Structure 1
């Protein structure tokens, strides 16, 4: 086997048609990451759930900076309990055949790029399952600039990590012991974080509610759907406050008159300025069809 094999990683993400890193991971554009960083977890969840991606969210995690949003591209690894023959074989292979240095967790962190998030399936091990401490978290900060880590296991040196402001870390628990008796069996392979599945190159969106893993090929679509939902809510709140419409009207399928009102607001109100890259031809056409064919429901994703 090979650790971080580009051919294997490319095979895992055939629906991605864009640029890739040398290790094969999809490289979702920084502009899309920025857009996803401004939406809520629920807004990201909707488009994924409606497309059959039901195992992308995990909320049962502690957070180093619970008031900060984290977004980045996933670098994954899977750890298992130590079995001596397997452990020695894989550790020696990495050292001798791939010229890697140190322990398994250092190999992963040494591979990180800017805007990456390391995602580790540590089989929920906390005692002697501390994947990062102060030193490796500092390395994550230096390499990723704005990323962080999601660890289905433990961390140590919490007080030191808390002082690192530019990244975030999601984890199951903390312990003063160092990492021990674990073996990495895959790097940039599918990883399970609780009830969620993460592939290398997924966009990791971490919020106070937990983390969601957005498949790379759905990242821009998710951003667009989420932003449309967000800006419609901004408009809806404004019109509810002015008593222009009732909640029933806002929550139902909009009439063409309501869409015309929205478009005038969208093109002129400063509250909509950040959303003006969005287009609405499909929604306007759907409203016209609905009025011509009678009442129908509007499913907002």
Structure 2
């Protein structure tokens, strides 16, 4: 077996048609990551759930910075309890055949790029299962700039890690012991985090409610649908405060008058300026098909 094997990574991510890292990992554009930083977990969850991706969220974590959002591209690892023959074989192979240094967790962190997030299945081990401490968290900070880690296991040196402002860490528990009696059996492979599945290159969105793993080929769509929901809500809040429409009108499918009001507001109001990259042609075309059917059958923009 090989660690971080490009052929394997490309094989398990065939729906991604964009740029890839040299190891084959999908490289979702920085602009999409920027847009996802502004959306909520529920807004990202909807497009995934509706497309059959129903095991992408896990919320049972402790969080180093509970008030900070974390977004980045997943670098995954799978750890198992130590079995001596397997352990020595894989450790030796990594050192001698792939030129890797140190222990398994250091191999992963040494591979990180800007905007990466380490995603590790540590089989919920905390005692002797501390994947990072102060030193490795500092290395994650230096390499990723604004990424972090999602660890289904433990960390140590919490008082040091909490002082690192530019990353976040989601973890199951803390313990003063160092990592021991574990073996890495996969790097940039499918990884289970609690109830969720993460693949290399997934966009990791970490929030106070938990973590969602967004498949790279859906990431831009998720950002777009979330932004459209946000700007519709901004418009709705404005018109409700003005008393222009009732809540029933805002929450129901929009008729032609309301749709036209929204488009005029969207094109001219400063509150919509950050959303003007969005295109509404598809929604308008769909709405026009139903205008003759009455307001309740109109398609909401």
Give the shorter-chain TM-score range: over 0.9
Distance 1:196 1:261, change over 3 A: same
SS at match of 1:99: coil
What are the superposed Cα offsets for residues 27-62 of structure 1, whole Å, 9 maximum, x if unpaired? 000000000000000000001100000000111111
What are the superposed Cα offsets for residues 119-165 of structure 1, whole Å, 9 maximum, x if unpaired? 00000000000000000000000000010000000000001000000
What are the superposed Cα offsets for residues 175-234 of structure 1, whole Å, 9 maximum, x if unpaired? 000000000000000001110000000000111111100000001011100100111011
Q: How does 1:229-248 map to 2 (within 5 A)?
A: 229-248=229-248
What are the superposed Cα offsets for residues 47-94 of structure 1, whole Å, 9 maximum, x if unpaired? 110000000011111110111110000000000011111111111110
Provide the residue aligned with 2:221 in structure 1.
Answer: 221
Distance 1:299 1:253, change over 3 A: closer
Give the whole-Å Cα distance in 1 for the aligned partners of 2:53 and 2:192: 14
Unaligned 5+ runs, structure 2: none
Give the TM-score, by structure 1 length: 0.98
Provide the residue aligned with 2:291 in structure 1.
Answer: 291
Provide the residue aligned with 1:103 in structure 2.
Answer: 103
When the two chains are superposed, the root-mean-square deviation of aligned CA atoms in Å is: 1.1
SS at match of 1:185: strand
Provide the residue aligned with 2:122 in structure 1.
Answer: 122
Give the whole-Å Cα distance in 1 for the aligned partners of 2:285 and 2:248: 22
What are the superposed Cα offsets for residues 1-46 of structure 1, whole Å, 9 maximum, x if unpaired? 0000011000011000000001110000000000000000000000
Provide the residue aligned with 1:142 in structure 2.
Answer: 142
Paired residues in the alignment total 300
Q: What's the offset of the Cα at 1:285? A: 1.6
Provide the residue aligned with 1:74 in structure 2.
Answer: 74
SS at match of 1:17: coil
Q: What's the offset of the Cα at 1:293? A: 3.2
Paired residues of 2:290 and 2:299 also in contact (CA < 8 A):
no
Unaligned 5+ runs, structure 1: none
SS at match of 2:206: strand
Give the whole-Å Cα distance in 2 for the aligned partners of 1:3 and 1:299: 48
Give the TM-score, by structure 2 length: 0.98
Give the whole-Å Cα distance in 2 for the aligned partners of 1:299 and 1:206: 29
What are the superposed Cα offsets for residues 78-123 of structure 1, whole Å, 9 maximum, x if unpaired? 0001111111111111011111110000000000000000000000
Paired residues of 1:252 and 1:298 also in contact (CA < 8 A):
no
Q: What's the offset of the Cα at 1:270? A: 1.1
Provide the residue aligned with 2:11 in structure 1.
Answer: 11
Provide the residue aligned with 2:26 in structure 1.
Answer: 26
Give the whole-Å Cα distance in 1 for the aligned partners of 2:298 and 2:62: 39
Q: How does 1:162-201 map to 2 (within 5 A)?
A: 162-201=162-201
Give the whole-Å Cα distance in 2 for the aligned partners of 1:240 and 1:45: 27
